[in-house]
Structure 1
């Protein structure tokens, strides 16, 4: 039988003279498509792997950023607390200064009064001694 009559029956010979059910061109295109699909599948697998690594990196970075944000908030709150504490302490010192100044003034007046009384008493003693 000739190759044309075999082709009519759906049998073909490839370049290595093997019997094929498909035309050699269709078989070659099918093999090429199979190879391209395999390459595409590998690229998808690689992309999936890279995507997962990227997501993991982003999640780790996100956790680190959140941790640093919380630390910054804590520091900010501590700073505000210290500022309020200093303001409270400043007000306490101011009140204490006013209190001590008032006491000082009261003691000055008392001292002046006692000096006056002492002077008057000394005058009386001096007058008594003169008689």
Structure 2
């Protein structure tokens, strides 16, 4: 009967015979809820740690990707520069070839055309070369007014 009177007043005894304000079932549920909350907080903290490390990893990968991207852009620009340099060199060589062809046409068939393999033709070509040199010198001196 004492327990009933205490129960009506909202006081209860637990399994250790300690006086409690809550009913033993409600106290057990409260303790269980407290443990579940602690487990949830621990799991949330663990999740935050995992997410933090994942963010760090993604940041490192982003930096590495950005670095490789800059290297690729630099390499592409270098290749474009090399291609332009080759194109410019090719144009210079084409101009040089055209200039040499013009010189060759002005000079006419040179000594190499007369070198068929005989000694007399070599003397003949040397003689024609001297003649050509003399005639070009005299024509240039005439054009200067001498």
For Structure 1 versus Structure 2, the TM-score category normalised by the shorter chain is: 0.7 to 0.9
* TM-score in terms of structure 1 length: 0.81
**Match for residue 102 of structure 2?**
102
Number of aligned residue pairs: give it: 118
Q: CA deviation at 1:99?
A: 0.4
Q: 1:2 to 1:52 in 2, by over 3 A?
A: same
CA distance in 2, matches of 1:18, 1:76: 82
**Match for residue 115 of structure 1?**
128
Q: CA deviation at 1:108?
A: 2.1
* TM-score in terms of structure 2 length: 0.73
Where in structure 2 are there 5+ consecutive unaligned residues?
Answer: 112-124, 132-146
**Match for residue 18 of structure 2?**
18
Where in structure 1 are there 5+ consecutive unaligned residues?
Answer: 119-131
Q: CA deviation at 1:110?
A: 8.8
Q: Which moves more between the two structures, 57-66 or 98-107?
A: 98-107
What CA deviation, in whole Å up to 9, does each residue of 1:20-78 have, x standing for no partner?
11001111101111110011011111111111110111011000000000000100110
Q: 1:117 to 1:48 in 2, by over 3 A?
A: closer
Q: Does 1:5 align with 2:18?
A: no
**Match for residue 83 of structure 1?**
83
| 2:108 aligned counterpart, secondary structure | helix
